[in-house]
Amino acid sequence: MGGIRFDALQVGVRVLWEIKTHQFDTYNSFVQRMEIAKELKQLRKERVSVHRSP
């Protein structure tokens, strides 16, 4: 969708899902903050892309 790949579509409610497999709780606090910042950036990009798609 809009060049973004998702893992699943929830039929009937038009919800796209992306499955994360990180072992987040094993990361040190710096890496956790960097991962959160990276994921938020990607989520914002995907949200804009989805809202622009017909």
CB 42 within 8 A of CB 34: no
Is the pLDDT at 2 greater than 80? The verdict is no
The pLDDT tens digits of the residues spanning 3-54 come to 556 566 667 776 666 666 678 889 999 999 998 999 899 888 877 766 665 5
| Residue 6: per-residue pLDDT | 59
Residue in this structure with the two tokens 């956790």, named with its chain if needed: 32
| Residue 33: per-residue pLDDT | 94
| Residue 31: per-residue pLDDT | 93
| Residue 41: per-residue pLDDT | 92
What is the pTM (predicted TM-score) of this model?
A: 0.54
Is 16 in a helix, a strand, or coil?
strand
Domain ranges of the chain: 8-52
CB 27 within 8 A of CB 35: yes
